[in-house]
Chain A
Amino acid sequence: MKIHEYQARNIFAEYQIPIAEGDVAQTPQEAINITKKTGYPVVIKAQVLVGGRGKAGGVKVVHHEAELVSEFNRIKALNIKGYSVERILVAKAIDIKKEYYLAVTIDNIKGDVVIIASAEGGVEIEETAKTHPDKIIKFYLQGARELDESRWAPIATSLFSDVRLQKSCTSILQKLIKLFFEKDCSLAEINPFVINGEGNLIAADAKVIFDDNALDRHPEEVAMRDMKYEDADELEAKEKGLSFVKLEGNVGCIVNGAGLAMGTMDAVNLLGGKPANFLDVGGSSNPEKVLNALKIILRNKDVKVILINIFGGITRCDDIANGILTALKQIDIKVPLVIRLTGTNEKEAKALLSAAGMTTFTSMRQAVTEAVKATK
């Protein structure tokens, strides 16, 4: 789960990682009030959860109140990759002497926590990794949740020659690692990590991503979720135990299992159609799930046909069939249903649906072909 920079800054502050003084504002007056503490110049930054805000004009250094108000209003009116700007961070501008990169994240293949540092900060680390891999330092924790000072030395000394900065870097890194573990993060990043005019290290940006699977043990993190970035249908689906992602097409898809659900979307595309969504009803046989899935898909007015593709394993085909029949009684479905059922209790399911006058397919290719035909 992604959070805004101002929220990540609050977490940094909680862990005493140095950040520039400032706060988040929703109105020009709030922004002016913040400058009473910080003084000028300040940097104002649009708080959006999509990349490229700098290029979109969402970041600006301002030097006096009139400029603050006009730039604040300009940024507030921006639309950045489809999102309006609700909040703007106002922070004391840092006199940057040099930029570095510092992050704690997970290396999935190694299954380990890794510290990534570079003397080339301020740019996309992926770019640096590609163009100058030698400028990236990686350090694996190998199961440790904290490190003693002797083990840090390589990171701090490779970035800084000055002993005072080495110590300061070590201290900040220790706090970043503590935060990473305690908050169950998948990323805690400072980019750029800078030396300011006073010669001190400070976080000029803050980025934190939480592990979705660990949110159950962090209600405080769930509370930080910005609902504006959540699709209402996707959230509702999640609450009902479904996994749903809306797409642009017109073939509604209901599938059991994530892999087969992706495979079904690909098949629709390959046979000349456009999938309207990804939807995994999960492994259970609860007929209620089919009803909920149909309701969510039917809200999308582009949908011209619904393709139900079930490979029965734990999911029993007859339960799915009963779910479809229940749904037909409860909701008025005006688009055709194309049903493919194979696997556990397939015969019983087909008998149930056939008695209700519905045809079913055994082959996935046939069913997808039929569904695509219905959109033409």
Chain B
Amino acid sequence: MSILIDQNTKVIVQGITGRDGSFHAKQMLEYGTKVVGGVTPGKGGQDVHGIPVFNSVKEAKDKTGCNAAVIYVPAKFAKEAILEDIRNNIPLIICITEGIPVLDMVEVKNELNKSQCRLIGPNCPGLISPGKAKIGIMPGHIHKQGDIGVVSRSGTLTYEVVYNLTINGMGQSSCIGLGGDPIIGTRFVDVLKMFQEDPDTKAIVMVGEIGGGDEQLAAEFIKKHVTKPVVSFIAGRTAPAGKRMGHAGAIISSGDSTAEAKRQMLRDAGVTVIDFPDEIPQALAASLK
């Protein structure tokens, strides 16, 4: 098993006629993901890599029965794209787009709270259940099917972690990139809960970074509810305070949001906190004994 997506997930791609949308639609298809449609207003009737394009999410859902949507539209259209998915009850929405204004996300979050939909991202690499499906932009070939759940706030740092797992023979059940923005749809706690409940996930790798309070909430949750081993890496120990490090949410604004504070809270919750991404396989092996 895996969490959130598998070989049966039917995905539509919003912004499929754009450069990124088109490229990644192809990559997802090649990985084996069921990409059943695309949405670009005004371009309905065309096709991209053999995938039918629709004018609206409603039309796409009616014609394809999709149960997931991935968004590659520019930041200024992203709010509307997510809201359109929510209005059409798409259960899983993945937003790759970076740079969405915070107040747009406040509006989105409020609508999400009233719905049954789950949003991953924005500003995220997406998610993958190796061997089954990937939705997003991560390179599929570095992954390997297995029983380690990976959850992260970052993109390439996750690839680094996954690569180290794979070359050491440790496959992954699912890998979720939550996104680098301050307001995101799905947080560590949500995914930790899913991994804890997933019978095929034996251990969890959590990759955090400076800024915000999510790792602290995760530590509290792990202490109370997670019985599976958790290994964590927190990026940004050398980041100066008050400076935004690439991600909109990666900024040390208080003592609690430093890497050291987060590392300590996770350690206190029984998590194995490592210093270097290549130490993860060994730490996992030790904790799985």
Residues of A within 8 A of B (CB): 106, 108-113, 126, 142-143, 181, 184, 186, 211-214, 216-217, 243, 245, 247, 255-263, 265-270, 275, 278, 280, 283, 311-314, 342-344, 363-365
Contact = CB atoms under 8 A, between A and B. Distances in A.
Given A262-B245, A265-B236, 6 more contacts: A111-B105, A258-B247, A263-B233, A266-B236, A343-B139, A365-B278
Interface stretch (B47-55, B86-94, B106-114): B106-114
The listed residue with most A CB atoms (<10 A of its CB), out of B207, B210, B239, B240, is B239
A184 B100 CA distance: 12
B245 A143 contact: no
B160 A263 contact: yes
B239 A259 contact: no
Contacts of B103: 113, 181, 184, 211, 214
A256 B139 CA distance: 14
A261 B248 CA distance: 14
Given A106-B106, A258-B250, A280-B246, A263 B278 contact: no
B233 to A, nearest CB: 8
A258 B102 contact: no
B213 interface: yes
A314 B140 CA distance: 11
Which of B156, B213, B244 gathers most chain A CB within 10 Å? B156
B43 interface: no
A229 to B, nearest CB: 11
Given A184-B101, A278-B245, A257 B155 contact: yes
B26 to A, nearest CB: 12
Interface of B: 23, 75-76, 99-111, 113, 125, 137-139, 142, 152-160, 163, 180, 182-183, 187, 207, 209-210, 212-214, 217, 233, 235-240, 243-250, 254, 259, 275-278
Nearest to B101: A214
A259 B152 contact: yes
Contacts of B248: 212-213
A283 B72 CA distance: 13
Nearest to B107: A143
Contact of A113 (B106, B108, B159, B235): B106
B101 A259 contact: no
20 contacts: A106-B102, A106-B106, A106-B182, A109-B212, A143-B106, A143-B107, A213-B99, A213-B248, A247-B240, A255-B156, A257-B155, A259-B155, A260-B160, A261-B245, A262-B157, A262-B246, A278-B245, A313-B156, A342-B163, A364-B160
Nearest to B20: A314
Contacts of A113: 103, 106
B238 A313 contact: no
A186 B102 contact: yes
A211 B101 contact: yes
Contacts of A245: 239-240, 243-245
A91 B23 CA distance: 58
B245 A313 contact: no
B238 A257 contact: no
Contacts of A110: 109
A267 B277 CA distance: 9
Nearest to A144: B110
A106 B107 CA distance: 12
A343 B141 CA distance: 9
Contact of B100 (A213, A256, A265, A365): A213
Contacts of A312: 139
B246 to A, nearest CB: 3
A284 B282 CA distance: 33
Contact of B157 (A181, A214, A257): A257
A182 B108 CA distance: 17
Contact of A109 (B107, B142, B213): B213
B76 A263 contact: no
B156 A257 contact: yes
Contacts of A311: 156, 159-160, 163
A361 B247 CA distance: 27
A343 B142 contact: yes
B74 to A, nearest CB: 10
Contacts of B182: 106, 108
A112 B235 contact: no
Contacts of B113: 143
A246 B76 CA distance: 30
Contacts of B109: 110-112
Nearest to A214: B101
A216 B246 contact: no
Q: Which 10 A-B pairs have the closest CB atoms?
A: A259-B154, A258-B246, A257-B156, A143-B110, A111-B109, A259-B157, A214-B101, A262-B235, A260-B156, A108-B182
A11 B181 CA distance: 27
B57 to A, nearest CB: 21
Contacts of A256: 156
B112 to A, nearest CB: 8
A136 to B, nearest CB: 15
A370 B178 CA distance: 33
A344 B259 CA distance: 30
Given A212-B248, A216-B76, A109 B156 contact: no
Nearest to B275: A270
Contacts of B259: 266
B117 to A, nearest CB: 14
A190 B222 CA distance: 38
B8 to A, nearest CB: 25
A123 to B, nearest CB: 16
A344 B139 contact: yes
Most central of B111, B154, B259 by chain A CB within 10 Å:
B154
